[in-house]
């Protein structure tokens, strides 16, 4: 049984090598909203997400959650602490019942040393994190809350595989999660959703959110005056 077959980072390994790696992992299950990793903890393991999904989050001094990302089955996280040996930079919470395989930091570093393509994939992911942080810092420095919500929707949107030229967010995160991503309040997100729905720029259907014109939304965010939300 190839238990790590869905983990994209490990695609270049053969099924036998992946199963050998699986045997070196500690396998853990977490319930919805259960803490997986705590910020500033000394845990250094790298986690392969085999089933379910998790959210990576931190908290401001006032206790407001600041969401960094959501990871789905097939993803991995925790490589920063495994590489630099420092405490965790964020917390990880299960979005739903999830199964994870935890690999010791020494084993993860050894995996990168013996497989250069895996090491390169990790470096590319870290480069993406740096770029994303740069974008978020710029947003916080130059955009108002309403603008940040709109830009977050544009980041989350993917091309609709059914309707050409349309964009979709599926599954659409809860408003409180979007608020955490945009560093604002749920009330502001609700207000933005209402305005965009009334102007027919977004449409919700079940767990999907459709953007009628992503480029127009991005242009709208840039036209809005900074400080327009709270």
**Model confidence over 36-75: pLDDT tens digits?**
999 999 999 999 999 999 999 988 777 777 778 889 999 9
**How far is Cα 21 from Cα 92, in angstroms, rounded to an integer?**
23
Q: Rg of the chain over CA atoms, in angstroms?
A: 19
Which pLDDT score is estimated for 170?
Answer: 92
Q: Is the pLDDT of residue 104 over 90?
A: yes
Q: Is the distance from CB of 32 to CB of 96 less than 8 angstroms?
A: yes
Report percent pLDDT > 70 for the chain: 97
Q: Is the distance from CB of 139 to CB of 151 less than 8 angstroms?
A: yes
Q: Is the distance from CB of 77 to CB of 66 less than 8 angstroms?
A: no
Q: 74-78, 130-134, 191-195: lowest mean pLDDT where?
A: 130-134
CA-nearest of 15, 11, 23, 22 to 117 is 11
Ordered alpha helix ranges (H), the chain = 15-23, 79-84, 105-114, 116-142, 145-156, 175-182, 186-198, 214-223
In the chain, how many H helices and how many E strands?
8, 12
Q: Is the pLDDT of residue 132 over 90?
A: no
| DSSP assignment string, 20-32 | HHHHTSEEEEE-T
Which pLDDT score is estimated for 97?
Answer: 97
**How far is Cα 155 from Cα 174, in angstroms, rounded to an integer?**
15
pLDDT band at 28 (very low <50, low <70, confident <90, very high): very high
Of residues 93 and 221, more confidently modeled: 93
CA-nearest of 129, 127, 7 to 56 is 129
Q: Give the residue-averaged pLDDT of 23-46.
A: 96
pTM check: above 0.85: no
**How far is Cα 150 from Cα 227, in angstroms, rounded to an integer?**
14
**How far is Cα 174 from Cα 207, in angstroms, rounded to an integer?**
10
CA-nearest of 87, 98, 93 to 27 is 98
């Amino acid at each position: 049984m190839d238990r790590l077959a869905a983990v994209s980072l490990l695609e270049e390994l053969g099924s036998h090598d992946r199963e050998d790696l699986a045997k070196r992992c500690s396998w853990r299950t977490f319930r919805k909203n259960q803490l997986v990793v705590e910020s500033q903890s000394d845990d250094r393991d790298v986690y392969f997400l085999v089933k379910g999904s998790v959210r990576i989050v931190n908290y401001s001094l006032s206790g407001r959650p600041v969401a960094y990302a959501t990871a789905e089955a097939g993803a991995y996280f925790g490589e920063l602490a495994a590489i630099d040996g420092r405490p965790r930079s964020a917390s990880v919470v299960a979005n739903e019942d999830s199964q994870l395989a935890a690999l010791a930091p020494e084993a993860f570093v050894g995996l990168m040393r013996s497989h250069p393509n895996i090491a390169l994939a990790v470096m590319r992911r870290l480069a993406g994190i740096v770029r994303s942080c740069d974008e978020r810092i710029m947003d916080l420095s130059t955009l108002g809350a309403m603008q940040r919500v709109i830009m977050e929707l544009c980041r989350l949107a993917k091309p609709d595989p059914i309707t050409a030229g349309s964009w979709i967010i599926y599954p659409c995160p809860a408003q409180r999660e979007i608020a955490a991503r945009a560093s604002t309040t749920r009330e502001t997100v609700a207000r933005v959703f209402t305005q965009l729905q009334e102007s027919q720029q977004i449409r919700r259907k079940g767990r999907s959110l459709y953007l009628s014109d992503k480029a127009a939304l991005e242009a709208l965010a840039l036209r809005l005056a900074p400080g327009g939300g709270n």
